Amino acid sequence: MDDVASNSPAQSADILLPCRECDLVVAVPEPEPGQWLRCPRCAHPLARYTPHDQTSPALAVTALIMLALALAFPYIRFEKSGVSDSMGLLDAATQLAAFHDPLLGIIVFTTIVVLPGCFLVALLWVHLSLSGRHRLPGTALLVRSLPRWQPWMMADVFAIAALISLIKIAGMAQIGLEPGFWAFSGFALALLFTVQRFHPLALWARLAGPPAPPEGARAGETAAGQGLVGCEQCGHLQARQAGRACQRCGARLHRRHPHSLQRTTALLVAAILCCFPAHLLPIMVTTSLGNTQPSTIISGVLQFIGHGDWPIALVIFVASVLIPFGKIMALGWLCLASRQNRQLDMAAQMRLYRITEWVGRWSMIDVFVVAIVVALVRLGNLLSIQPGPGGLAFAGVVVLTMLAAMSFDPRLIWDQQQRRNHDPTLFPRSH
């Protein structure tokens, strides 16, 4: 259940929270358990009350058991002309390394196994610490770090990539699903639910108590307009002093992300440069009965269309072509719009920013498809698939556009509106 928080003056029981996407200070009453409170200006979810959350640790333990099973058992079996082979989850990374693509292997293994595994263990450590009388060492550091790992965990993207790989190979040979496949699918699902329930502000409330705003802080105005700064990690509103860390959680404080527009633009330019090798060089090379055939991202899409697999062709085209290009254009436009004084639709800009931030990781589908088919199809001259240099370049495009979205500060969108309105109480010139 969602509710919109109030931007009217705070009642005594209210907590003042700065919205991390538009900087408005919002008076947040204590919500009902499980209820989300949203920012009245930009609709960003501000707070959720989860007093004694037992479901998250249970989900995290389930996900870890599933991951262990997925690593212990074979993932997919492959059979052609009486020769059969099976791949494990680890093979998806080690085979890339064996074909002189160790960096891509590391990216795949880190995003589907290492980071999710570390996230789940760290989350269990935090919950164990919060449920005991004494805090365990490193609890604050972990609560501060966990949100940064979240976008880079891609088990769900890999699970979808596995389904696409099966359809891709189904025409070449017989395929069988092994126990590791089902265990990994269960792991991806349990991880998804764990991440959905993860809310750092609720953890900080249990770890450090409710945040106490400084004297005279007012709801309904921006934090920057009052000479204050909101901590992006724990939501604590405090006086702004250059170079000082958050009093409550120790995170670095920034009124806005430093050099946000310059960094975002530089990362976008690097992503555009990576697009050329990503789309011009082959991402995989298929050897069948001694004949080798390289394929690029686009020729892979055309192959699916040729075989009549329209839905898969569409998924690959959207994930590998439309999303990266759309993301570069959307972020470029947001950077330009943040510098201009023209009347623009704020809600539309925020929607564009959120979609851009959310869809980026799904572009990794094609990279994971390559990792799976390379590990699976290893029958030498009879039939084998090797990774091409385009795969690493494409992974580079995905990583760079994700970093660009993270370095863009959405509060700049709202600053631009306030500058245009010349409202000195909301945004004084000294900031």
Binding region for Zn ion (CB under 5 A): 19, 21-22, 39, 41-42, 44, 231, 233-234, 236, 246, 248-249, 251
Q: How far apart are CA 426 and CA 130, in angstroms?
A: 38
Q: How far apart are CA 291 and CA 303, in angstroms?
A: 17
Inter-residue contact 40 to 4 (CB < 8 Å): yes
What ranges make up the beta strands (E) of 119-275?
174-177, 228-230, 237-239
Q: Which class for 238: exposed (0-12), middle (13-18), buried (19 or more C-beta within 10 A)?
A: buried
Single-letter amino acid, residue 342: R
Output the six-digit token pair for 36: 């989300």
Q: How far apart are CA 76 and CA 285, in angstroms?
A: 21
Min separation Cβ 333 and Zn ion, Å: 21
Min separation Cβ 268 and Zn ion, Å: 25
Min separation Cβ 332 and Zn ion, Å: 23
Min separation Cβ 40 and Zn ion, Å: 8
Min separation Cβ 162 and Zn ion, Å: 38
Q: Which class for 224: exposed (0-12), middle (13-18), buried (19 or more C-beta within 10 A)?
A: buried
Based on CB atoms, which residue is closest to Zn ion, 144 or 327?
144
Min separation Cβ 253 and Zn ion, Å: 8
Q: Which class for 341: exposed (0-12), middle (13-18), buried (19 or more C-beta within 10 A)?
A: exposed
Based on CB atoms, which residue is closest to Zn ion, 58 or 141?
141
DSSP characters over 201-247: HHHHHHHH-S--PPTT--TTSBTGGGTEEE-TTT--EEE--TTPBPT
Min separation Cβ 355 and Zn ion, Å: 17
Largest Cα separation within the chain, whole Å, is 78
Q: How far apart are CA 203 and CA 212, in angstroms?
A: 16
CA-derived radius of gyration, the chain? 24
Based on CB atoms, which residue is closest to Zn ion, 44 or 77?
44
Q: How far apart are CA 182 and CA 384, in angstroms?
A: 25
First to last CA, the chain: 37
Based on CB atoms, which residue is closest to Zn ion, 87 or 413?
413
Based on CB atoms, which residue is closest to Zn ion, 251 or 337?
251
Based on CB atoms, which residue is closest to Zn ion, 72 or 347?
347
Based on CB atoms, which residue is closest to Zn ion, 80 or 354?
354
Three-point CA angle 320, 302, 366, nearest 5°: 30
Min separation Cβ 181 and Zn ion, Å: 41
Min separation Cβ 196 and Zn ion, Å: 21
Min separation Cβ 245 and Zn ion, Å: 8
Based on CB atoms, which residue is closest to Zn ion, 16 or 370?
16
Output the six-digit token pair for 176: 């069988």
CA 74 from chain centre, in angstroms, equals: 28
Evaluated on CA atoms 265, 415, 406, 141, the torsion sign reads positive
CA distances to 226, 325, 428 from 221, rounded to whole Å, are 7, 36, 12
Based on CB atoms, which residue is closest to Zn ion, 62 or 416?
416
Based on CB atoms, which residue is closest to Zn ion, 248 or 279?
248
Min separation Cβ 394 and Zn ion, Å: 34
Based on CB atoms, which residue is closest to Zn ion, 352 or 373?
352
Inter-residue contact 196 to 213 (CB < 8 Å): no
